[in-house]
Structure 1
Amino acid sequence: MSDTRELVIIGGGLVGMTLALAAAKQGIASHVVDMADPAALTADGFDGRASAISTASWNLFTNIGLADRLAPQGCPIASIAVTDGMKPGRIDFQPEPHEGSLGVMFSNRVLREAMFEAARDEKLIAWHAPARVVDRQRGPHGVSVTLADGQVLKGRLMVAAEGRRSPTRDEAGLKLAHWDYKHRAIIVGLDHEKSHDNVAWEIFYPAGPFALLPMLDGPEGQHRSALVWTVSEKDAAGVLALPERAFCAEIESRMNGMFGKVTLNSQRSSYPLSFQHTVRMTGERLVLVGDAAHGIHPIAGQGLNLGLRDVGTLVEVLTDGMRIGLDPGDAQLLKRYERWRGLDTFSVSLACDSITRLFGVPGRIPSAIRRLGMAGVQRISPLKQFFMNEARGVSGKLPELLKN
């Protein structure tokens, strides 16, 4: 007997698995297929990546039952400091006490562990991993994927959640606007002498932003942060090859020694930076979520949060439609999802791209103009509040799952 489910989600990463869990809470069953071995993804030292979970995204995790598993392992972001090369004129984003934090920092490994644990307990999720899709079929009456072992999974709607290089998106012919920044993000975990005081730092240099993100203290009380350091592609190999002492000295110099002596607590890794945004987010019985639809610069830490807004929106659209008897793959529902998400994802993507280019202009005069503008934002409360609401993900029309 065929196990036909409402969703066939291709990609079981942070966005794809959150979608499966959120859908299950609404009674929507899914197949989740991922090429990676879950054990490898949660192994110690798999990667040093961390994610800033916005207020709205934390509401989503709360509403689907992940918050209790995650809360003890997250570091709240009390404020965000934005500066042009550590020069005077910075912006300090600090919410009012009743607004809570600006977000919570988690290692991606912690997020994966919580999601995978929840998925194993959920009967409405059929998890196939590691597994490779060798054939995809979409038609008027349903969808199916064939795995390398010959197993055929059937559903009503196919969801591409495979990330930036989504073969499902490419096979469907959904076109991308794309450009390469010719920069690379270097990722590493840091231990440092002085406390970060739960402040996230975004330090802009002409070569690219230098972000210090607060993490929980280590098991022996070590103060810890996650570093995302953007360098030119031509310089990346040299920076990555620096001996650890020289690498740490470069880090200390770029933060003006404000955290004291720095050491590394993870391996260095890196990935190229680019912009991409699909012209359309849907096709026949197909929908794109997360980086498969929009890949942005990590400058504001909004990439994963954009994907989680996709999740909340898609689940709400499907639930509303199925409540009145519509098929999950109904073109009306997919059109509603695309209208709802298209403008938000494009606006955030364009804003991140514009900020990257603005702060990338070298020279004393451009720096002075930027710092003058930042000083203005610091003094104008409504403008600061607007930017904080954007960072917290609470602006615009939110799906119910992302509300408190």
Structure 2
Amino acid sequence: MIHPLLVAATLARNRAWTIARARPSTLAMEYDVLIIGGGLNGPAQALALARGGLRCAVIDAMPVETRSADQFDGRSYALSAGTVRMLGRLGAWPADHATPIRQIKVTDGRAGEGPAPFMLHFNAAEGDDGPMGQMIEDRYLRRALLSALAAQPRIDHIAPAKVIAQAVTTSGARVTLHDGRVLHGKLLIGADGKSSGTASRAGIDRSPRPYGQMAVTCAIAHTLPHHGIAHQFFMPGGPLAILPLPDNRSSIVWSEDETRARALMAMDDAGFLAALRPAFGSFLGEITLATPRSAFPLSLSLAERFVAPRVALVGDAAHGLHPVAGQGLNAGLRDVAALTDVITAARQRGEDIGAIDVLARYQTWRRPEILALALVTDGTTKLFSNDNSMLRAARDIGLGAINALPPLRRAMMREAAGISPSLNGLPTLMG
């Protein structure tokens, strides 16, 4: 049987191939919104805006064949309940491939010595909101987004295509592609990652602050069931996240200092597993590698502004956070939802959706929230990524104290699930 996601991905590929190669005279060049970046946030942004009646172009430098590849490379995401709700409303949630996160256990300790006696334990059974989130492999989420793009007539997915220039006027934005084509829109959205060309061309700077750590990621198979429990084990070199996947597998995100991380990447599979086992423990039985390993450097970076005249940034183009709280993609999709609320409300009032005063509402909403999240993740990383005995005692007592206060613990659960409103409210798509 041919899987429907493969059919949809093929349709998306063929449609994108046609658009990318159409002669300029046959291509509709006028849009409401131009979105640069075809990863995850860009397609989600297009789907959200198209749902509100706007015509969008998604300009993706990567071929659709690459985006829709079926091979599992170890990349997975812990998505909050609010994010899952949003993706479902956009028709881009691959529920059959998701694993519910029913509990989260946060512990402190050293590899080989086990966790400290105090821990923080979140259990979804304490509330009425269902699982706190879902784990999903990157390949399934990408293909679901491609399927949704292909099914939405208000979206053109232009791929592969590289933007070489952009310009704004008082009435609109313009981008020039590598083949000479020019696209026009009222608003330009940058969803093109930490090295965002959109931000750079708009004169928006960012100053990354390295942590001196790298995250080593992969998937692990194990002989015992995980029961939907996510673990965050803080060690002196950095945290180890063990996140549940289908079929007795777990996603690993192991943050270590750069020297140690490079050594882990240089080991053969047997050596890596031998290094992982003391930190991983034996609670899931025997472990084996299920995917190749990858690694990336960790840093904190915030764009000095999230908007410029006729330009808005979402996701990694606007901010890069430590993965300690697993909020990277969740924060990006919350950007998408908030910007959608701002734009659709402005359009209903007859305002210019690319006007700087309209975009300023998005920045006023999201930048303070991202700054607060950055402070939390940065502070947590500094507090736990050390072996200071006094700090260790204080943080262990703190974890135990929070765990002993059910109202505070439940409030933190709702925050982690992405269903707690901010000062500006919960975006419509997540509410």
TM bin, normalised by shorter chain, reads over 0.9
Per the alignment, residue 341 of structure 2 pairs with 316
Alignment length, in residue pairs? Answer: 396
> Bigger CA drift: 181-190 or 93-102?
93-102
Per-residue Cα deviation, 1:30-86 (whole angstroms, up to 9, x for no partner): 11111112211332436311011111111111222223xx11110000010000022
Per the alignment, residue 397 of structure 2 pairs with 372
Report whether the alignment pairs 1:398 with 2:426: yes
Structure 1 contact 252–261 (Cα < 8 Å) conserved? no
Alpha-carbon distance in 2 for matches of 1:257, 1:6: 54
Runs of 4+ more than 3 Å apart: none
**One-letter identity of the residue aligned with 2:295:** S
Report whether the alignment pairs 1:78 with 2:108: no
Structure 2 contact 219–291 (Cα < 8 Å) conserved? yes
1:337 to 358, 362, 369: 362
Alpha-carbon distance in 1 for matches of 2:286, 2:270: 11
Structure 2 contact 127–410 (Cα < 8 Å) conserved? no
1:3-402 residue pairs with structure 2 within 5 A?
Answer: 3-45=29-71, 47-67=73-93, 70-85=94-109, 86-95=115-124, 96-217=126-247, 223-395=248-420, 396=422, 397-402=425-430
Structure 1 contact 45–266 (Cα < 8 Å) conserved? no
Q: Which runs of 5+ in 1 are unaligned?
A: 218-222
TM-fit CA distance, 1:107: 0.6
Alpha-carbon distance in 1 for matches of 2:388, 2:88: 46
Alpha-carbon distance in 2 for matches of 1:334, 1:25: 19
Q: Which runs of 5+ in 2 are unaligned?
A: 1-24, 110-114
TM-fit CA distance, 1:177: 4.1
TM-fit CA distance, 1:257: 1.4
Structure 1 contact 184–230 (Cα < 8 Å) conserved? yes
TM-fit CA distance, 1:362: 1.1
Distance 1:46 1:33, change over 3 A: farther
**1:185 counterpart SS class:** strand
> Bigger CA drift: 99-108 or 85-94?
85-94
Per the alignment, residue 220 of structure 1 pairs with none
TM-fit CA distance, 1:328: 1.5
**1:194 counterpart SS class:** coil
Identity percentage of aligned residues:
37
**One-letter identity of the residue aligned with 1:260:** G
> Bigger CA drift: 173-182 or 333-342?
173-182
Alpha-carbon distance in 1 for matches of 2:427, 2:101: 24
Per-residue Cα deviation, 1:161-212 (whole angstroms, up to 9, x for no partner): 0011101112222132420011110110110011111000000011000000
Distance 1:46 1:142, change over 3 A: farther
Structure 1 contact 40–46 (Cα < 8 Å) conserved? no
Q: What TM-score does the superposition give when structure 2 sets the normalisation length?
A: 0.90
Q: What TM-score does the superposition give when structure 1 sets the normalisation length?
A: 0.95
**One-letter identity of the residue aligned with 2:203:** G
TM-fit CA distance, 1:97: 4.8
Per-residue Cα deviation, 1:2-29 (whole angstroms, up to 9, x for no partner): 5311111000111111000111111111
**2:352 counterpart SS class:** coil
Structure 2 contact 235–386 (Cα < 8 Å) conserved? no
